[in-house]
Structure 1
Amino acid sequence: MSLSPATGADPDTLVVSGWSTASPYGLGAEPFTEGVRENRTAVRADDGTADLGPYERAGRVPNFDIRTVLGRKGTRAMDRATALAVATAGLLLEQAGPGLAQDHPEAVGMVLGTGHGSVQSIMDFTRDSLTGEKPFHVDPALFPNTVMNRAAGQSAIWHTLRGPNTTVAGGAVTGLLALNYATRLLRQRHCEAVLCGAVEEFSAERAWLEYRARTGGPHRQPAGPLGEGCALFLLEPLGRARAHGRSALAVLGGARFIAFADPERADEALGRAVTEALKEADVRPEEVGLLVPSDSGGPLGAREDAALAGIFGEHRPDRLRLRRLTGDCGAAAASLQLAGALTAPADRPVLVTSLDPDGQTGAVVLRTGTA
């Protein structure tokens, strides 16, 4: 492979060349960046406009009305998670330029992570089938919202993306898994560019499920406020990004995922994932300038902190604790962590880590602003 004479960078190096979010700070990368840099909380008290379930505060995308944002056509039966994904994809494609999807729609894929899809849609549809006069007395237009890949499929249809379309689910680690899946699609030449990330909606139904799950055992996360959001990234080879006038915001350095069966050994699993990811990226611990942990709190969060302390020792990189600003965004949490990494000053390696109580750990190394 030929190298760029200007930077020595391999044009096949995979880079993030664009990103956008729908977050508790609002729609778009700009309000998210401002909120994170100001260290401003986006978790708000109940204002009476939404049922927060057992919680008094939540990190909801403000003023997000589906028909106002996306229009009336095609949105009558659209669930909130799908709408968040469709809106975020539209913002990212607008930023990338009209040629990304229109010229060669089959060259652009989508990998979208989710927890369960739309929990509210699943529970509403199930309730209607149980409480109606007949089990089949349900609204058929709502059934697609109960399928896990609804958001990914609808986003691709809405924006004419005809490349590979994949849905990934992996708890809190979902966003990192989606990024890793997207890199494999590109390296195996299944497409030329990928929109990848994750989405999670807030609903009273999800709030109650999360609350019961968190308070059900000693190794669960604290029952803190929930959040919602979507973060999507444009991942493509460096050469393609430059050919279309897009700069590299970050280079994907390394990624590792390790499972654990015993929660007491979660720190060992994460430590191994971080060590191997740094080695793959050819980054020494003392070179890392920013840590973006999952910051889950409780016993699991303590094990994450212990694993990082064991690796970095006396080196104290800056640390972005995003969850306390946005709430627990579930499956979208790790993607929002990646977005948080992109808000930091450039030209330094960033480590993003995630731990899920069901037994998964993940670590991703990015080099921001270096290509």
Structure 2
Amino acid sequence: MSATTIHRDRPLITAWSAVSPYGLGRDAFAAGVGRGEPAHRVPDFDTRKVLGKAGTRTYDRATGLAVTAVRELLDEAAAAEQPIATGGGTALVLGTTLGSAHSAAGFSRASFEGDKPYDVPAQLMPNVLMNGPAAATAIRFDLKGPNTTLAGGAAGGLLALGYARRLLAAGRAERALVGAVEEQSDTRAWLADAPDTPLGEGGAVLLVETARTLPPGRRVLAELLALDVRLDVDEDPEAALAATVRDALAQADATPDQVWAAAVTGQPAEDRLAALVGTEAVRRVRTAGLLGDTGSAGTVFSVTTVLALAEQDPAAAGRLAVIASLDHQGLAACAVLRLAGGDR
């Protein structure tokens, strides 16, 4: 995808990385997706061993996953001689369901178990706040641009992408690190909407830029053509999903036959999505079946899955990917991406 074929102001995904049940980094994730083996927990993940002891004493698991995902992205870009600038021009936008449920529950429990309600581990208070992982990540890597956390459940990753799009369009940032993170814990399992679905965990981060600020030599992986979000008000959530997919395709001036890959996370709705864009496109991406319920990270993992698969298939070049979500409250979202495809 050359600079002459992309809209000057549209968001462009130019790099990505992940901390996933397949291990640390982009290559581990791509290899795991390629094997198609289910996995649900990030293996052997100990925050202080992965990130070192300096500054990590109070990190909870969600914070450790977020910081590690961004570290992997920055390190991989530097290794490819395409370093990502930090400082004031770089925003960080993370999606979440409600932050770390485990940390919040533990902190609340301490207020009941102590001699006095205020006998709580004050040093752990940042972990109770849903923006704790984003704040810790920005501090560690000198990300001085806008720092935002969006609680949106299954749609969290797409809401983060839409927020970053607005930041870039308004000139509030030159680039944005966009992702989502969810930890696996007993507390989250207790709160799960679908207790029969295996819980997954991890974090994925995208580098989002525009053609106006794209550094020389940076390769475009995908272009965000459209993003639509809506809430079901007719007590027919699958109809809301269908409407948001159709409207997103219309915004992209695209037709279903152009869709190479499609995925929906949250509530099971693959059949409805397949009826809109074709069974083959939906079968190509099985992120939820591989990783389980990864909450707000599910849509970002769907994006990284599509990008990993597109890298290996020249037929993906110029085709579209539909990334959708639907939660039990009827919040539906859909993004349409145009893929560069081809070997890296």
Q: Is residue 334 from structure 1 mapped to residue 294 from structure 2 by the alignment?
A: no
Aligned AA (1:266): P
**2:215 and 2:62 mapped to 1: Cα distance?**
32
Corresponding residue for residue 46 of structure 1: none
The equivalent of 2:11 in structure 1 is 14
Q: Percent identity?
A: 41
Cα shift at 1:136: 1.3
Match of 1:56 in 2: none
Matches within 5 A, 1:133-148: 133-148=115-130
For residues 180-219 of structure 1, give each alpha carbon's deviation from its aligned partner in whole angstroms, at most 9, with x where no partner exists.
1110110111110000110001111111221xxx3xxxxx
Alignment partner, residue 313 of structure 2: none
Question: Does residue 160 of structure 1 match 2:142?
Answer: yes
1:13 is displaced (CA, Å) by: 3.1
Q: Deviations over 1:316-368 (max 9, x none)?
A: 42521211211111121111111111112231211111101022001111111
**2:170 equivalent among 173, 178, 188:** 188
Query: 5+ residue gaps in structure 1?
Result: 43-58, 215-220
Measured in 2, the distance between the counterparts of 1:222 and 1:207 equals 7
CA distance, structure 2, for counterparts of residue 21 and residue 308 of structure 1: 26
Alignment of 1:178-257 (within 5 A): 178-210=160-192, 214=193, 221=194, 223-243=196-216, 245-257=217-229
Query: What TM-score results when the alignment is normalised by the length of structure 2?
Result: 0.91
| d(CA) in 2 for partners of 1:308, 1:291 | 8
Q: CA offset at residue 18 of structure 1?
A: 0.6
Report if aligned partners of 2:259, 2:321 keep a CA contact under 8 Å in 1. yes
Q: Check whether the contact 1:173–1:355 (CA below 8 A) recurs between aligned residues.
A: yes
- Deviation, structure 1 residue 311: 2.3
Unpaired runs of 5+ residues, structure 2, are 311-315
Aligned partner of 1:217 in structure 2 is: none
TM-score normalised by the chain length of structure 1: 0.85
- Does 2:95 correspond to 1:117? no
Is 1:39 the counterpart of 2:3 in the alignment? no
SS of residue paired to 1:190: coil
Give the length in aligned residue pairs: 331
Assess if the C-alpha contact under 8 Å between 2:259 and 2:277 holds in 1.
no
Shift of 1:307: 3.1
Q: CA deviation at 1:247?
A: 0.5
SS in 1 for 2:88: helix
Contact kept? 1:241, 1:248, Cα under 8 Å: no
Deviates more, 1:339-348 or 1:67-76: 339-348
- Write out the 4+ residue segments of structure 1 that deviate beyond 4 Å after TM superposition: none
Cα distance in 2 between the residues matched to 1:333 and 1:90: 20
What secondary structure is seen at the aligned counterpart in 2 of 1:91?
helix
Q: Deviations over 1:273-305 (max 9, x none)?
A: 1111111112210111111222x5xxx42xx23
Q: Distance in 2 between matches of 1:224 and 1:10?
A: 40
The answer to whether the 8 A contact 1:107-1:162 is kept is yes
Asked whether the 8 Å contact 2:240–2:330 carries over to 1, the reply is: no
Q: Which residue of 2 aligns with 1:49?
A: none
Structure with the greater alpha carbon radius of gyration: 1
SS in 2 for 1:111: strand
1:78 to 51, 54, 59: 59
- 1:24 to 1:8, Cα distance in 2 relative to 1, 3 A: closer
Shift of 1:266: 1.0
- Contact 2:274–2:281 (CA under 8 A) maintained in structure 1: no
1:87 is aligned to 2:87: no
Question: Given that residues 251 and 370 in structure 1 are in contact (C-alpha distance below 8 angstroms), is that contact kept between their aligned partners in structure 2?
Answer: no
Which residue of the partner structure matches residue 317 of structure 1? 281
